Structure 1
Amino acid sequence: MITRAGWGLAVASVLVYAAGAPLGYSQAAVLAVAGLAAVGAGALWTLRGARLEVRREVTPVKVARGEPAVAVLHVRNAGRWRHSGLVARDTCRETTVTVEVPSVGRRAARTVSYRLPTRRRGRTPVGPLLLDRADPFGLARRSIAYGRADLLLVRPRTVPLGPLRSGRQRHLDGLASRSAPSGASSFNGLREYVVGDDLRHVHWRSTARTGVLMVKELTDVNLPDTVVVLDTRSSSYEGDDEFELAVDVAASAACAVTRDRFPVRVLTGEGELVHAKGGPGEDEEVLDRLALVERSDRAEPPLHALRHAGAGGALVLISGGYGALADAAAVRRRFGQALFVHVGPPEAGAPRAAGVTVIEATDLDELAAAWPR
C-alpha cells in the first residue's frame, strides 16, 4: 500500500514534469521519473515475501482495573534477508497500540514488550496483531495479520475490608446454623451418635437417661452471611467512572467475605450474579463475574432483588443515587446489619434512614476508612 509520503512524491513528480516539460527543462523529466521510480521500488520492496514467525503473549490474562498488563511480541526471521522497518499494531478494544520492532537479521529473533490499556473493566480482546513492513523511505507499507486475538479479563479493583460479623438467627449461645462448618464451640442441641462422631462430644447424662448414645451438636456462633446488592440501573449513575467505582465497592465487600471462607450472595438488577458458599478460591469467581457486569436501562430496582434474598445476615447495598437508600430501609429488619454505600460526590442534606449505616465513598480509600470494624 502506498503511504501518504509515497502519494505525495508521486503527485509532486507528475506536477514537476507537467510544469517543466512544456518549457523544455529536461531535468524535470529526470526528476519525475526518479520520483515515480522511487515509489515503485518502495512498493516492490514491501511485496517481497517475508518469512517471519510472529507470536504474541499476554501476561497476566486476568488483571485488576488500572493494573499493568503486558503483551510480549516474539519475532523470528526465518528468511535469508534482514528485515527492517517493521511496526507492530495491536488493537485493545478501541485503542491501537503501536510499537516499533528493531531490525531482524537472517535467522535471528527479536522480543519486544508493550503495555496494554486496562482502564476499562470487562472481557477485552487483544488483536488481531498487524505487522507493518515499510520500505526504508516510508513510501509504501504492507500490513500482514498474524495469529488470533487473545483475551484479557480486566476485573474490578478491591481494597481489604473486614467481614461483617452478623448471623442469620440466634439462640442463647449465638448463631444457630445447620450449615455451619465443623469445629465451632457453641452447643445447639443433642442427637443420636453416628459412626465417626468424636467421642469427646458424647453427652453422658442424656445417654444414661435415654439408654441411647447421644452426642452434643455444635454450631458456629460467628458465621457471617452477607448479601451484596449492586444497583445496575443506568439512571443511578452520572457516568462510567461512578459505576466502575460501584463495581469496585461490590467486589471489595464480597471478597472480604469469601477470602475468609464465609458465604456471600451478590445480586444485581438482573438477578443473582453469584452465590459463594465459603469454598476455597471463590473470591476469584466473584471477581470474574463482576468483571462482566454492565449498566442497563432494563435493570430492576434493588428492592426487587432483595425480595428474593431471604433474611438474616448482613446487607450491603451499593448505588450512585440516594433513592436506593429507601430500598435498604424497607428490608433492614430482615438483616442483622444493613449498610448503604453511596458512590460519587456526596450531597448536602443527603437523606438518612434509621437502622441503616450510610457510607459515602468517592474512592476505595475512603471506603476502607469508613468501613465498620
Structure 2
Amino acid sequence: MITRAGWGLAAASVLVYAVGAPFGYAQAAVLAVAGLAAVGASALWTLRGAGLDVRRELTPVKVTRGEPAVALLHVRNTGRRRHAGLVARDTCRGTSVTVEVPALARDTARTVSYRLPTRRRGETPVGPLLLDRTDPFGLARRSIAYGRTDLLLVRPRTVPLAPPHAGRRRHLDGLDSRSAPNGAISFNGLRDYVIGDDLRHVHWRSTARTGVLMVKELTDVNLPSTVTVLDTRHSSYDGDDEFELAVDVAASVACAVTRDRFPVRLLTGAGELLHAKGGPGETEEVLDRLAVVERSEQADAPLHALRRAGSGGALVLVSGTFAGLADAAAVRRRFDEVLFVRVGEPVEGGRPAAAGVTVIEVGDLAELAAAWPR
C-alpha cells in the first residue's frame, strides 16, 4: 500500500513534469520519472517475503477487571537478510496497540511485551496481529497478518466477605461443610461404589439386586445454602459502571460461599447461571460465568427468578434500583435471611426499608466490605 508520503511524491513528480515539459525542460522529465520510479520500487520492496516467525502469548489468559494483562510477542528472523525495525499493531476490544520491534539480525529472536486494556469485563478477542513492513524511505507499507485471534477473559472484581450462614436446622457444634458427605446423616440417594468409599455405607440390598456395588450418598441437611440473584434488566442501571459494580457484588457474594465449600445458586434475568454444590474449584467457575453476563432489555424482573429459587437458606438480591426491594420482601418468609444490595449513587429521600430484609447501599466494593453483615 502506498503511504501518504508516497502519494505526495507521485503527485509532485506529475506536477513537475506538467509544469516543466511545455517549456522544454528535460530535467523536469528526469525528476518526474525518478520520483515515480522511487514509489514503484518502494512498493516492490514491501512485496517480498518477510522471513519472520511471529508468535503472540497472553499472560494470564484470565484476569480480574482492572488488573494488568500482558501480551508477549516472540519474533524470530528466519530470512537471509537483516530486518530493520518493524512496527506491530495489535487490536484488543476495539483499541489498537502499537508495538515497536527492534532490528533483527539473521537467525536471531526478540521478545517484546505490551499491556492489554482490561477495564471492560467479558471475553476480549486479542488480534489479529498485523506486522507493518515499510521501505527505507517510508513511501510504501504492507501489513501482514500473523497467527490467530486469542481470547482474554476479563473477570469481575471481588472483595472478601463472610458467607451468609443461614439454615433452618443447625448443629450445636456449628456448621461443617468439609466433612460432608462422610459426616452427614441424611440419605440423599444411591451411587456406584468408588475406591476409597466407606464400606459401612454399602447398600447391600441394591447391590444384590443390581449386581453392582452400590453405596448410600449422604448429605448434610445443615449446610447453609445461598441464592444470589443479579438483576440484569437494562433499565435498572444508569450506566455500564453501575452494572459492572453489580456484577462485582454478585461475584463477591457467590465466591464467599463457594470458598467455604457451601452450595450457592446464581440467578439472573435470563435464568439460572450456575448451581454450585460446594465442590472444589467452583469459585473459578463462578468468576468465569459472571465474566460474560450482560444487561438485556428482555431480562425478567427478579421476582420471576425468585419464583424458581426454592426456599431456605439465605437470599441476596443485587440491583441498581430500589424497585427490586419489593421483590425481595415478597419472598422473605421463604428464606432464613434476606439481603438486598443496591448499587450506585445515593438517592434522594433516604434508603427505604422492608420488614425482614437487610438493605445495603454501596457505591463501590470497599463500601460493600464495610457494610456487609459479619
TM-score range, shorter chain: 0.7 to 0.9
Report the equivalent of 2:200. 196
Q: Name the SS of the counterpart of 2:200 in structure 1.
A: coil
Report the equivalent of 1:315. 315
Distance 1:171 1:139, change over 3 A: closer
Alpha carbons 2:89, 2:130 under 8 Å: kept: yes
Alpha carbons 1:20, 1:28 under 8 Å: kept: yes
The one-character-per-residue Cα deviations of 1:146-197 (angstroms, maximum 9, x if unpaired) are: 1111111111111111111111x23785999999825769x99xxxxx9538
Alpha carbons 2:237, 2:243 under 8 Å: kept: yes
Distance 1:156 1:172, change over 3 A: closer
* Counterparts of 2:227 and 2:3, CA distance in 1: 58
Equivalent residue letter for 1:372: P
Report the equivalent of 2:89. 89
* Counterparts of 1:235 and 1:71, CA distance in 2: 36
Distance 1:19 1:145, change over 3 A: same
* Counterparts of 1:68 and 1:359, CA distance in 2: 30
TM-score normalised to the size of structure 1?
Answer: 0.87
Report the equivalent of 1:268. 268
* Counterparts of 1:136 and 1:66, CA distance in 2: 40
* Counterparts of 1:164 and 1:107, CA distance in 2: 60
Distance 1:195 1:101, change over 3 A: closer
Alpha carbons 2:99, 2:114 under 8 Å: kept: yes
Distance 1:184 1:369, change over 3 A: farther
Is 1:119 matched up with 2:123?
no
Matches within 5 A, 1:21-60: 21-60=21-60
* Counterparts of 1:140 and 1:178, CA distance in 2: 67
Q: Name the SS of the counterpart of 2:125 in structure 1.
A: strand
Equivalent residue letter for 2:362: A
The one-character-per-residue Cα deviations of 1:268-298 (angstroms, maximum 9, x if unpaired) are: 0011100111111100001111111111111
Is 1:353 matched up with 2:357?
no
Distance 1:91 1:24, change over 3 A: same
Matches within 5 A, 1:175-214: 181=180, 196=200
Q: Name the SS of the counterpart of 1:324 in structure 2.
A: helix
Report the equivalent of 1:135. 135
Report the equivalent of 1:365. 366
Distance 1:98 1:172, change over 3 A: closer
Report the equivalent of 1:166. 166
Equivalent residue letter for 2:335: F
* Counterparts of 1:180 and 1:249, CA distance in 2: 29
What is the RMSD computed on CA atoms of the aligned residues?
2.6
Alpha carbons 1:317, 1:340 under 8 Å: kept: yes
Stretches of structure 1 that go unaligned for 5 or more consecutive residues are 189-193, 198-216
Matches within 5 A, 1:295-306: 295-306=295-306
Report the equivalent of 1:19. 19
* Counterparts of 1:146 and 1:248, CA distance in 2: 35
Identity score, percent: 75
Distance 1:336 1:151, change over 3 A: same
Q: Name the SS of the counterpart of 2:267 in structure 1.
A: strand
Report the equivalent of 2:192. none
Report the equivalent of 1:208. none
Equivalent residue letter for 1:170: R
* Counterparts of 2:117 and 2:17, CA distance in 1: 48
Equivalent residue letter for 2:360: I
Report the equivalent of 2:147. 147
* Counterparts of 2:178 and 2:108, CA distance in 1: 62
Equivalent residue letter for 1:82: R
Alpha carbons 1:175, 1:219 under 8 Å: kept: no
* Counterparts of 1:39 and 1:219, CA distance in 2: 79
* Counterparts of 1:291 and 1:218, CA distance in 2: 31
Distance 1:195 1:133, change over 3 A: closer
TM-score normalised to the size of structure 2?
Answer: 0.86
Q: Name the SS of the counterpart of 1:354 in structure 2.
A: coil
* Counterparts of 1:125 and 1:176, CA distance in 2: 43
Report the equivalent of 2:193. none
Distance 1:177 1:301, change over 3 A: farther
Report the equivalent of 2:256. 256
Report the equivalent of 1:338. 338
Worse-matched range after superposition: 228-237 or 145-154: 145-154
Alpha carbons 1:175, 1:220 under 8 Å: kept: no
Q: Name the SS of the counterpart of 1:298 in structure 2.
A: coil
* Counterparts of 2:284 and 2:158, CA distance in 1: 12
Equivalent residue letter for 1:360: E
Report the equivalent of 1:241. 241
Displacement of 1:37: 2.2
